[in-house]
Structure 1
């Protein structure tokens, strides 16, 4: 039996645990580390089918907001 860990899933768990911590206990370097981890997760997820689906949904949402705001 071989156990494999998807790096994107592992990063998502790390992000979830870091965000659930108390805000007052975070230093500026701790916040930057969280931002860097989120960026790496985005880079890992972007080329996947799930990432492309999220991109399409967000693009359609942004287009709808833009069209509703123009006269």
Structure 2
């Protein structure tokens, strides 16, 4: 039996949708891509990978805010 992680499948769908040419997208396509990206973020956020991304982004923002002072 093969199991597919929903987040991985959704990530593949997002990448395929984003690789399409910009002028070939309708407003509905753009809205659907935003919804898929938000859903992917919600699925990834509680995982260890999501927490790692959060830590990296937090450190990056903290470093940028220090350099701006």
TM-score range, shorter chain: over 0.9
TM-score by length of structure 2 reads 0.98
Structure 2 residue runs without a partner (length 5+):
none
User: 1:38 maps to which residue?
Assistant: 37
Which is greater in Rg?
A: 1
Structure 1 residue runs without a partner (length 5+):
none
Runs of 4+ in 1 over 3 A off after TM superposition: none
Aligned-residue RMSD, C-alpha: 0.5
Q: Deviations over 1:15-67 (max 9, x none)?
A: 01000111001111110100000000000000000000000000000000001
| Aligned-partner Cα distance in 2 for 1:66–1:43 | 26
Alignment: residue pair count: 69
